[in-house]
């Protein structure tokens, strides 16, 4: 999967410790990492 990120998005990913794998996971499964680990979103 090829993704293109703007510099602003990369900066925010770094600040929030979000990896490319995290983003790919969300795009493939449609679920956030928290949802996949059994956490509830509130």
Q: What is the pLDDT of residues 1-42, one digit of tens each?
A: 899 999 999 999 999 999 999 999 999 998 876 666 665 544
Of the CA atoms within 13 Å of residue 36, those in its CB half-sphere come to: 10
Q: Check residue 42 and give its pLDDT.
A: 45
Residue 35 near residue 42 (C-beta atoms within 8 A): no
Q: Check residue 35 and give its pLDDT.
A: 64
Please give the model's pTM, rounded to 2 decimal places.
0.65
Of the CA atoms within 13 Å of residue 28, those in its CB half-sphere come to: 11
Residue 33 near residue 22 (C-beta atoms within 8 A): yes
């Amino acid at each position: 999967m090829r993704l293109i990120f703007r510099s602003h998005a990369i900066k925010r990913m770094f600040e929030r410790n979000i990896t490319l794998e995290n983003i790919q996971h969300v795009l493939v499964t449609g679920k956030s990492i928290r949802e996949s680990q059994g956490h509830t979103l509130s």
